[in-house]
């Protein structure tokens, strides 16, 4: 039954999105009106405009950051941004052919939300703006159709830190932003140490560039993404602390190495990353583009302190076999290398283990008994 309240809400509603013209920001394109969404600092938002295939579009933003319902009527639709101060044209597909809907009737693009701060490098919290789009519509008597207007508000996002570690450098990253500690092999930690040589340690910092199984098992608790002799050079090493990842997800810390070189600029550059969350789950990711180092390399996780003095494993073989359950304090690690590597120490028989985790993601899921952090003293690898 349609009530008076419903009729009144329809009467004052802003211009809706339609099949012929829809503006979507981070999946928000429906009432309640005015359409509003939050964008978070240091994240990427997705903007999409849809309508009839191959039609040009334009996107304008509010002159004062607000929505103003029924400010004017254009193309038979309600223009819901203020007329004064005037809107700002952001995207103009009527003069630039690059801004047209594709064969599916979609035009989308990412928008990087700056870090929290002040212009030009940052953006203040609670900053707001509003946008509306127009799409050419040959079926309309006006030839155009307006989308709904959407108001965005900037809220706090993750804490992103770009590190400058040079050669063998290490930096302590406090995890207090997560509002929780990170559990690893039965212990909670509030600080992680990121080393330029491709690993993270807990308890203390390490800058060792000659990886061995002995050091892996006897040293600090370690997540070894790609422990070898690296130098940052022109590459990027960054950490992301996310304390609000969304419904059902745990706060996490991520460490990314992007285009970091073998020491001396010889050999290759490497891209890989690691995420550990507040539940103790660890994921090490190796894109297909990652290459073998010209030096020895150790990859894996372990509690150190000689607690898990197990021999190395073939990680790719375990991945191919499915889930593998480790014992309490059992580490999972593999040494990669060939006899010609600079730090290779001959043994009998001579091992040759070329890196073979290209395009793989290695997950370590805590499965120990008890509550956190004890439940992380053993892992399932898959």
Cis peptide before 246, with omega less than 30 degrees from 0? no
**For position 119, what pLDDT does the model report?**
83
pLDDT > 50? residue 3: no
Pinpoint the residues of the chain covered by CATH 2.20.130.20. Answer: 14-155
Residue 1: pLDDT band by 50, 70, 90 thresholds?
very low
Give residue 346's pLDDT band: very low, low, confident or very high (50, 70, 90): low
DSSP annotation string for 93-160? TTT-TTSB--TTSEEEEEEEPPEESSTTTEE-TT-EEEEEEEEE-TTSTTSEEE---EEEEEE---EE
Would you say residue 208 has pLDDT above 50?
Answer: yes
Tens of pLDDT, residue by residue over 5-50, are 433 344 457 899 999 999 999 999 998 888 999 999 999 999 999 9
pLDDT tens for 127-143 read 999 999 999 999 999 99
Q: Binning pLDDT at 50, 70 and 90, where does residue 121 land?
A: confident
Sign of CA dihedral 102, 107, 110, 111: positive
pTM of the model: 0.85
Contact between 199 and 225 under an 8 Å Cβ cutoff? The reply is: yes
CATH topology for the 14-155 domain: 2.20.130
Dist CA 113 CA 176 (whole Å):
23
């Amino acid at each position: 039954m349609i009530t008076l309240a419903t009729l009144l809400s329809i009467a004052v509603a802003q211009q809706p999105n339609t099949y012929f013209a829809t503006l979507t920001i981070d999946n928000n394109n429906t009432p309640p009106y005015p359409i509003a969404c939050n964008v978070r600092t240091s994240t990427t938002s997705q903007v999409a405009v849809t309508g009839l295939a191959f039609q040009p579009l334009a996107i304008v933003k509010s002159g004062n950051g607000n929505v103003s319902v029924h400010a004017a009527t254009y193309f038979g639709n309600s223009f819901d941004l203020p007329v004064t101060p005037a809107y700002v044209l952001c995207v103009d597909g009527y003069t630039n052919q690059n801004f047209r809907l594709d064969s599916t009737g979609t035009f989308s693009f990412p928008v990087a939300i700056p870090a929290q701060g002040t212009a030009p490098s940052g953006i203040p919290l609670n900053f707001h703006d509003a946008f509306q789009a127009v799409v050419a519509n040959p079926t309309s008597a006006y030839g155009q159709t307006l989308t709904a207007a959407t108001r965005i508000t900037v809220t706090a996002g993750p804490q992103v830190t770009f590190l400058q570690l040079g050669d063998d450098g290490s930096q302590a990253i406090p995890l207090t932003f997560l509002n929780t500690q990170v559990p690893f092999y039965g212990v909670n930690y509030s600080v992680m140490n990121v080393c330029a040589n491709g690993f993270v340690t807990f308890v203390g910092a390490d800058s060792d560039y000659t990886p061995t199984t002995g050091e892996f098992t006897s040293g600090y608790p370690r997540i070894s993404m790609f422990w070898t002799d690296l130098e940052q050079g022109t590459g990027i090493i960054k950490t992301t602390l996310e304390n609000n990842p969304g419904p059902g997800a745990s706060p996490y810390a991520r460490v990314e190495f992007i285009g970091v070189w073998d020491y001396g600029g010889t050999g290759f550059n490497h891209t890989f990353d690691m995420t550990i969350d507040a539940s103790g789950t660890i994921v090490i990711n190796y894109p297909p583009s990652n290459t073998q180092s010209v030096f020895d390399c150790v990859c894996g996780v372990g509690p150190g302190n000689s607690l898990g003095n197990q021999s190395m494993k073939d990680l790719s073989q375990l991945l191919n076999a499915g889930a593998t359950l480790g014992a309490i304090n059992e580490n999972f690690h593999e040494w990669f290398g060939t006899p010609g590597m600079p730090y290779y120490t001959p043994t009998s028989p001579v091992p040759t283990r070329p890196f073979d985790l290209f395009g793989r993601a290695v997950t370590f899921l805590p499965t120990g008994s008890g509550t956190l952090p004890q439940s992380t003293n053993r892992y399932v690898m898959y």
